[in-house]
Amino acid sequence: MGETWSETMLERSRSAITESRYLSLNGKIVFKNIDGSRHFVYEAEMDKSLYRLRCMKNSHTFLHFDSVDDLFHAGWILA
């Protein structure tokens, strides 16, 4: 099995997401992947539990996840 985030990191991200305690810069919430890449979710989408991770360089392309758990399983946490 590949690398994964620690349970502590996952729980911190889960708490921040479910309690809306995340940093938004210009309406964007940044996520990082275990592979080092970074994407963002628009805050307005996050408020609606729409997990559409957009590439920092091309915001027209996105990865859609149905749940926070799906985000975590794909290696993403809050940056």
Summarised one tens digit per residue, pLDDT across range 35-62 is: 999 999 999 999 999 999 999 887 788 9
**Tokens of residue 2, six digits:** 């590949």
The position carrying tokens 């890449």 is 37
Residue 9 has pLDDT above 80, yes or no: yes
3-state secondary structure of 12: helix
**How many angstroms separate the CA atoms of 64 and 54, rounded?**
9
Each domain of the chain, given as residue ranges in start order, spans 7-78
Whether the CB-CB separation of 51 and 66 falls below 8 Å is answered with yes
Strand pairing of 76-78 and 62-65? unpaired
* Residue entry with tokens 């479910």: 18
**Which pLDDT belongs to residue 3?**
84
Predicted pLDDT of residue 60: 85
How many of the other CB atoms lie within 10 Å of CB of 75? 16
7 has pLDDT over 80: yes
Q: What is the pTM of this model?
A: 0.89
